[in-house]
Structure formats: C-alpha cells, structure tokens
C-alpha cells in the first residue's frame, strides 16, 4: 500500500508541475518575496541586519531562493552557506 501511495503522490506532483510550467520573472519575484517573508531574517529597528539569511532545508526551496537572488542580481560570491 505504501508503494501505491508513493506512486500516486509522485504522479500528482508531476501533474501539478506540468500545469504550473515556467515561472515568469514577476512570479519569481513575488514568490521570492514570500519566501523571504516566511523564511528569511528581517531587518528591524531594534535588530539591524546587513545580511539576509534563509532558513530552510528543502532543496527545491533553496533553489528557488537562489533563483530569486539571481533575479535581484545578487552576486554568487556574496552568498554563503551553512549547515
């Protein structure tokens, strides 16, 4: 039964991905802003920050966030990784 559920889940994901297709720059921008809002550090008056940190372990979310940083012309040399 678990194998059947796994195959159904994978098929559902594949169908959803094909329906979405390629994101436009605007869609990537908005999605990146939402990811930053949900998973990134924030600059606040009481806690000034000069950097962005994105905390998420999902490889697809990390790739999406990196694509967003590319869209914003953030140089890859300025990006650091921690685990």
Report pLDDT for 50.
Answer: 73
In a domain, 41, yes or no: yes
Confidence band (pLDDT; 50, 70, 90) for 82? confident
Domain that holds residue 56: 23-83
Task: With respect to residue 34, please indicate whether it lies within any of the assigned structural domains.
Answer: yes
* More confident: 46 or 22: 22
CA 66 centroid distance within chain: 7
Average pLDDT, the chain: 88
Predicted local confidence at residue 1, as pLDDT: 67
Please say if the pLDDT value at position 33 is more than 90.
yes
pLDDT (mean) for 52-61: 88
52 within a domain of the structure (yes/no): yes
Q: pTM for the full model?
A: 0.73
Continuous H helices in 1-78: 2-20, 25-39, 59-71
**CA 25 to CA 15: how far, in whole Å?**
22
Domain-embedded: residue 18: no
Instruction: Please state, in angstroms and rounded to a whole number, the distance separating the CA atoms of residues 4 and 19.
Output: 23
CA separation for the pair 8, 11 (Å, rounded)? 5
């Amino acid at each position: 039964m678990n194998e059947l559920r796994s195959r159904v889940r994978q098929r559902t994901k594949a169908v959803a991905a094909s329906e979405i297709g390629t994101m436009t720059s605007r869609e990537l921008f908005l999605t990146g802003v939402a990811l930053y809002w949900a998973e990134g550090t924030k600059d606040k008056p009481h806690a000034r920050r000069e950097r962005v940190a994105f905390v998420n372990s999902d490889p697809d979310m990390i790739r999406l966030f990196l694509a967003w940083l590319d869209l914003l012309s953030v140089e890859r040399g300025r990006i650091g990784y921690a685990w």
